[in-house]
Amino acid sequence: MAFNILSWGCAIASLAAFAYKLRALISNPRNLALFALCTYLICNAIAYFVDLEIFRSHISQFLEVPNATTIIVQASVVVLTAAQQVTVANLTLPPEVAGRSTRWQVAGFGAALIILILLFFVMQPDKEASAQETVYLNIQNSDYAAYMAYYLAICAIGRLQTVLFSFRYARTVREFWLRLGMWFVAGGSALILVYCAVRYWQIIALHAEGVVEPWRFLFWSIADIGTLLQIFGWTVPSWGPKLDPVARWIGNYRDHLRLEPLWRAVYQAVPGVVLEPPAARLWRWIPPRRLRYHLYRRAIEIRDAQLILRHAADPIAIHRLEQAYGMPHEAMCEAAVLRSALHGSMELEPAQEEPLVRRRTAGVDLPHDIELLAQVSDAFKELDTRSKSGQKRSRQRSVPS
């Protein structure tokens, strides 16, 4: 059941990705990397669709060749391996080097494919069963096992090159979505290498004594997951940037919620700085219509309240905050200053309050300041939790036994 689900998922994902990238290829037909990528995706789709149980027996009967789908799948895999190599080469190498690499890849994998097809028809594997069992039954024959080892070597060489090229490119490219895609391509290709290793393990186990066979579902699962990772990696640079507004909205919503405890605390102490009073806590999870505006307002109102409350802050806490500037515990120190101002009534001299004012008005970067305030709010909440826990323990100790 799981095998069928993964196979259908890979087939549909490959076909959908091909249809998605085909539009770009029609607009830019001279782009060799895009042409190779479309070749990779359509061959991937063919390899999965012809091996589905609903199609494979009909295809073999129509072609009147036993295990016809096996050679179709293997030939498609060799072609898509070469196409992936061409894609990676044209993305990562200078044009003149990529051109030479493309010619070598096409010639090398083309020759390997011709030999593979000739060997298949010479051997004519005749044992047929489900897609999961056919290869297992045939590799028990030593000649077909050697043929299978040759096929796996072609796959392994191509995927190893993809891993190396993608890994190197992912470390140098600056664009986030392209870098993410290359990491996924490298990861998916690495899983295909693991699939090849497990298949070799299975062949050795069948023809050598004392070697335990791997779980049969293991290599299919690894191969299908690796394929899905590669499809994701090759397509995410195109559709990923469209998710940026959604990611920004989620980030703003998260910061809006993180500022909530601190913002409510300063509102209770200085309600005049807040333009719109907070709604009931029950509705705090509902995002406002103009989320970014409300987030910025919330940050500005907290900073305004800080300036008003600075006279009531603990001077020792302010001194510690100045010492913590740029340190990991800066947010905790700033939360301690605010908490001392909200819960204290001390008056500071102008000379003592000046550093705090300077910190809040010089070179303000609002998005960065919101991130800092979110950390301060988290620390403020943590300090409140510690205080309540300490008070509870004190009351427990004071109760006579």
Q: b/e string for 367-391 if b means 16 or more Cβ within 10 A?
A: eebbbebbbbbbbbbeeeeeeeeee
Give the per-residue pLDDT at 196.
Answer: 92
Helix pair 131-138, 68-92: axis angle to 10 deg: 100
Give the per-residue pLDDT at 350.
Answer: 39
- pLDDT at 209 exceeding the cut of 90: no
Q: Please tell me which residue, 129 or 227, carries the higher pLDDT value.
A: 227
Q: Please give the class, per CATH, of domain 2-242.
A: mainly alpha
d(Cα 204, Cα 182) in Å, to the nearest integer? 33
The pTM assigned to this predicted structure is 0.73
Tokens 């129509």 belong to residue: 62
Instruction: Locate the domains of the chain by residue range.
Output: 2-242, 259-398
Q: Which of 6-20, 274-288, 294-308 has the lowest mean pLDDT?
A: 274-288
The mean per-residue pLDDT over the stretch 260-286 comes to 79
Give the per-residue pLDDT at 135.
Answer: 79
Q: Please tell me which residue, 11 or 95, carries the higher pLDDT value.
A: 11
What's the pLDDT tens digit per position in 64-94?
888 888 899 999 999 999 999 999 888 888 8
d(Cα 251, Cα 62) in Å, to the nearest integer? 56
The mean per-residue pLDDT over the stretch 331-355 comes to 61
- pLDDT at 33 exceeding the cut of 60: yes
> How does the average pLDDT of the chain come out, rounded?
83
What's the pLDDT tens digit per position in 239-249?
999 888 888 89
Give the per-residue pLDDT at 323.
Answer: 65
* Residue 271 neighbours by CB distance under 10 Å: 11
- pLDDT at 393 exceeding the cut of 90: no
Averaging pLDDT over each range in 160-164, 270-274, 371-375, which range is the top one? 160-164
Confidence of residue 391 (pLDDT cuts 50, 70, 90): low
Instruction: Kindly state the tokens that stand for 220.
Output: 């299919």
Give the list of residues 6+ apart from residue 29 with CB closer than 8 angstroms, or none.
35
- Amino acid identity of residue 348, one-letter, is L
Q: Please tell me which residue, 1 or 235, carries the higher pLDDT value.
A: 235
Averaging pLDDT over each range in 273-282, 301-310, 379-388, which range is the top one? 301-310
Tokens 């259908």 belong to residue: 8
